[in-house]
Amino acid sequence: MTKTSPDSPLFEKVALVGLGLIGSSICRGMRAEGLAGKVTGYARSEETRKVALEIGLVDDVAATGAEAVKDADLVILCVPVGITGEVMGQIKAGLKPGAILTDVGSVKQSVVDMILPHLPQGVHLVPGHPIAGTEESGPRSGFAELFHGRWCILTPPATTDDAATAKLTEFWTQLGSDVEVMDPEHHDLVLAITSHVPHLIAYNIVGTAADLETVTRSEVVKYSAGGFRDFTRIAASDPTMWRDVFLNNKTAVLEMLGRFSEDLTALQRAIRWDDGDALFDLFTRTREIRRGIIDAGQEIDAPDFGRPHGEEGED
Ligand code: NAP
């Protein structure tokens, strides 16, 4: 791995388009590891650009995307996936030959499809997706450790230079992630079941509870520790981001939802026919999956999701 330092950063100039949770976390991580000589930021609103400067996320901000990416060796799109094509239209004239262009979008095939028609010759496209996040948004929500011990998936098209993929792999490794290279279509199928469908289920269950007329809203809140509140954390995720995820990963999400609905019907049947063995067997298998996630270091082994208890606890 190339050693980086403020004197010999991995990239001379990095431009970030989008300075929300992921963009600001990358900024903080780059600063902590000395990965960029200079960081220029751009976001849609003047307010976000002002905050980014005030809190020292970036060295400077630009008034347009095209200006931000000028002379950048690495350009990272950190915007909702649905506007990738529009943003590319705005920045393409400013991209310099030899630059690496990447993104952090939660969907990969449609992002590649939106970028390729705008990609100037000589710019190396290496799309990416850090599998790390929180339900927070905006420039103040980021933190350098967000990517530590998490996976980052890269989905370079076959035509992309291997050296560009290797350099971006090094970038994410230095931000603390483990990197895997994958086909974009496969990425979308895997993420549909590990992330997208779980979010849809959370949005749905919280929506259903909010609509219940026989149970009052105050009871839903009062007794939420029974499991409901863990869904509310996921269902508090950014509406724009998640609308775009579902509209841009339709095929895989609908495929996984089909399977989910079949399995749910089987569970419904097991309950109706008092098939305790079927329920017990499934719940035993799912417990093992949780164990596997903890063993893989992707979750802490603390009861009740690590919430504080006892005298200082919140319960
Ligand atoms: P976020 O906190 O809502 O930030 C989005 C940023 O994009 C904001 O700075 C926003 O600017 C900017 N933006 C929106 N429209 C723009 C436009 N037309 N031109 C320029 N900038 C624009 O979102 P996020 O959570 O960082 O998500 C960003 C990307 O990361 C998404 O593609 C998402 O799929 C992916 N991702 C998210 C997570 C997660 O858990 N949140 C995890 C992995 C990957 P303003 O502030 O001015 O509106």
* CB 238 near ligand 1, within 6 Å: yes
Please report, for the domain that includes residue 92, its CATH number: 3.40.50.720
Q: Look at residue 297 and tell me if it is in a domain.
A: no
Instruction: Locate the ligand 1 atom nearest the alpha carbon of residue 83 and give its number.
Output: 18
Instruction: Locate the ligand 1 atom nearest the alpha carbon of residue 81 and give its number.
Output: 32
CB-count burial class (<10 Å; 0-12, 13-18, 19+) for 186: middle
Rounded Cα distance, 38 and 311, in Å: 47
DSSP code per residue over 239-280: HHHHHHHHHHSHHHHHHHHHHHHHHHHHHHHHHHTT-HHHHH
> How many Cβ atoms from other residues are within 10 Å of residue 227's Cβ?
9
SS3 content of the chain, % helix, strand, coil (to 5): 55, 10, 35
Say yes or no: 99 and 140 in one domain.
yes
The pair of structure tokens assigned to 46 is 């003047």
Range(s) of the domain holding residue 74:
11-182
* CB 27 near ligand 1, within 6 Å: no
Segment 43-65, tens digit of pLDDT: 999 999 999 999 999 999 999 99
Say yes or no: 27 and 169 in one domain.
yes
Say yes or no: 94 and 175 in one domain.
yes
**Strand pairing class (36-42; 60-61):** parallel
Cα three-residue angle 208-213-216, rounded to 5 degrees: 95
Say yes or no: 70 and 105 in one domain.
yes
Instruction: Locate the ligand 1 atom nearest the alpha carbon of residue 23 and give its number.
Output: 26
CA–centroid distance, residue 264 to ligand 1 (Å) = 33
Say yes or no: 146 and 68 in one domain.
yes
Q: Look at residue 284 and tell me if it is in a domain.
A: no
Q: Indicate the number of domains in the chain.
A: 2
Give the pLDDT mean for 186-199. 97
Q: Look at residue 309 and tell me if it is in a domain.
A: no
Most ligand 1 atoms within 8 A of CB, residue of 19, 21, 42 to mutate: 21
* Structural element, H or E, at residue 148: none
User: In 62-167, at which residue ranges do the beta strands (DSSP E only) sit?
Assistant: 74-77, 100-103, 124-125, 128-130, 151-154
* CB 94 near ligand 1, within 6 Å: no
Segment 97-143, tens digit of pLDDT: 999 999 999 999 999 999 999 999 999 999 999 999 998 999 999 99
Say yes or no: 131 and 177 in one domain.
yes
Q: Indicate the pLDDT class of residue 191, thresholds 50, 70 and 90.
A: very high
Say yes or no: 200 and 257 in one domain.
yes
Say yes or no: 25 and 141 in one domain.
yes
* CB 79 near ligand 1, within 6 Å: yes
